[in-house]
């Protein structure tokens, strides 16, 4: 109901704005508002993903399926006072976006806010970000869920990503040689994820990321959307590496998972170290993307809670994917994912291989598309599964 009310307010507000200062550039680009004195701008957009998912247990032959609104989002961004001071607010309206707030740390409320961040370009190529947003972790996570090559992100992301957090980020970029570009990002955040209202439980989370683009910049920032929709005329490559230290992580996966609280209310913490190495390549409709992730904990901990035994999610993951986009905007792609636990006793992660093939039709880039993929999920201990998914994306 909360998400529905927000949407109604959005729809009521838009027509009341002065038509003289409101314009719609093109499909998928959102409604834009500009103040008469150019001291403020606002872009408003809405997107929704409708997903069908069916899973076949290959051992028992049991079939389970569902149709759901996977994501529904409202986006607001623009500048305030000066084009050098940019803001972004993103709200999640679907049940999956809102879920997870039934605990004291979030005030027993829905987790409505995804992003609420100010970005200040205070000097040349230096920027300071303040607020809640995605940490500079693995590339697959930072790429918007709207701009994916497959129906959803890989198991490497779901098991190891840093996700969103609240804090500050210092960002810098510069040129190297004739074409090369290098970027550095340093972040200090609270370490417990989004929409937390409780005082900091453990220590802070420290993240450092560096990126190198040896062949120059991608068209339309294509290093942060999947598929070569721009059909790069020359080869383009981006390589990134991230190190994250979560000092006294209070959740199973740092910013994600359950709080490590036992059945009598004792909170446990652990130091988590995470490394990501990723790369993306594009050339004339051909694209490749790969990531390596490794997460380890300082101590081996098992917490007996009301939800059962809780463990930290530690181990190693690797994913490689690629695809080719034909001029008719039809794309065929494949992905291989491997996940390995570093301890069968103390890690919540289980060993699995996943093989996925995707077929996508882009009608208006990532703003209007239909994607379907099929996966063979090979669990090294336990039943194997065959999964089929089809998703429609609409962004206005």
Convert the pLDDT of each residue in 67-123 to its tens digit.
Answer: 999 999 999 999 999 999 999 999 999 998 898 888 889 988 889 999 999 999 999
Convert the pLDDT of each residue in 255-273 to its tens digit.
Answer: 999 999 999 999 999 999 9
Q: Say yes or no to pLDDT of 11 above 60.
A: no
Which band of pLDDT confidence, cut at 50, 70 and 90, is reported for residue 5? low
Structural domain harbouring 279? 2-395
pLDDT on residue 4? 54
Quote the DSSP letter at residue 233: S
Residues 6+ apart with CB under 8 A from 159: 253, 293, 313, 315, 317, 339, 349
Mean pLDDT of the chain: 94
Q: Say yes or no to pLDDT of 209 above 60.
A: yes
CA nearest to 372, candidates 385, 386, 361: 361
* More confident position, 39 or 55: 55
Q: How many residues does the chain have?
A: 396
Split into its structural domains, the chain has a count of 1
pLDDT on residue 279? 98
Cα three-residue angle 358-54-318, rounded to 5 degrees: 50
Q: Which residues pair with 128 in a beta bridge?
A: 120, 170
Alpha helix (H) residue ranges in the chain: 2-16, 95-98, 139-142, 155-160
Q: What percent of the chain has pLDDT over 90?
A: 86
Convert the pLDDT of each residue in 220-249 to its tens digit.
Answer: 999 999 999 999 999 999 999 999 999 999
Over residues 354-364, mean pLDDT: 98
Provide the 3-class DSSP secondary structure of residue 222: helix
Convert the pLDDT of each residue in 274-295 to its tens digit.
Answer: 999 999 999 999 999 999 999 9
Spell out where the chain has E strands.
22-24, 31-34, 41-57, 63-80, 82-92, 113-123, 126-134, 164-176, 180-189, 205-213, 236-249, 270-283, 286-297, 302-305, 308-311, 315-325, 330-341, 352-364, 368-379, 385-395
Q: How far apart are CA 127 and CA 83, in angstroms?
A: 12
Q: What CATH number has the domain bearing residue 305?
A: 2.40.160.10
């Amino acid at each position: 109901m909360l998400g529905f009310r927000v949407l109604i307010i959005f729809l009521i507000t838009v027509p009341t704005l002065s038509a003289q200062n409101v314009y719609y550039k093109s499909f998928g680009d959102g409604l834009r508002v500009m103040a008469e004195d150019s001291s403020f701008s606002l872009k408003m957009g809405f997107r929704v993903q409708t997903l069908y998912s069916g899973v076949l247990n290959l051992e028992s032959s049991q079939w389970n399926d569902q149709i759901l609104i996977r994501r529904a989002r409202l986006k607001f961004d623009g500048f305030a006072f000066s084009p050098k001071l940019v803001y972004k607010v993103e709200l999640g309206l679907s049940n999956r976006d809102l879920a997870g707030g039934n605990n004291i740390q979030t005030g027993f409320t829905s987790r409505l806010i995804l992003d609420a961040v100010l970005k200040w370009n205070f000097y040349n190529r230096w920027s300071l970000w303040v607020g809640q947003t995605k940490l500079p972790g693995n590339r697959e996570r930072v790429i918007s869920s709207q701009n994916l090559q497959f129906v959803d992100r890989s198991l490497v992301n779901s098991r190891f990503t840093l996700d969103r957090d609240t804090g500050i980020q210092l960002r810098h970029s510069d040129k190297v040689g004739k074409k090369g570009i290098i970027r550095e990002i340093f972040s200090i955040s609270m370490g417990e994820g989004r929409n937390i209202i409780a005082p900091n439980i453990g220590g802070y989370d420290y993240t450092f990321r560096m990126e190198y683009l040896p062949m120059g910049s991608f068209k339309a920032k294509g290093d942060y959307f999947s598929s070569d929709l721009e059909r790069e005329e020359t080869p383009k490559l981006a390589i990134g590496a991230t190190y994250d230290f979560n000092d006294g992580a209070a959740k199973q996966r740092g910013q994600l998972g359950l709080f490590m609280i036992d059945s009598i209310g004792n909170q446990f913490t652990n130091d988590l170290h995470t490394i990501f190495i990723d790369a993306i390549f594009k050339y004339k409709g051909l694209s490749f993307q790969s990531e390596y992730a490794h997460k380890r904990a300082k101590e081996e901990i098992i917490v007996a809670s009301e939800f059962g035994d809780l463990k930290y999610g530690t181990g190693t993951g690797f994913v490689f994917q690629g695809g080719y986009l034909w001029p008719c905007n039809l794309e065929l792609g494949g992905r291989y994912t491997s996940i390995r636990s570093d301890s069968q006793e103390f890690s919540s992660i289980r060993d699995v291989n996943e093989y996925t093939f995707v077929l996508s039709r882009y009608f208006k880039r990532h703003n209007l598309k239909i994607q379907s993929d099929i996966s063979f999920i090979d669990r090294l201990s336990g039943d194997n599964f065959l999964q089929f998914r089809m998703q429609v994306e609409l962004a206005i």
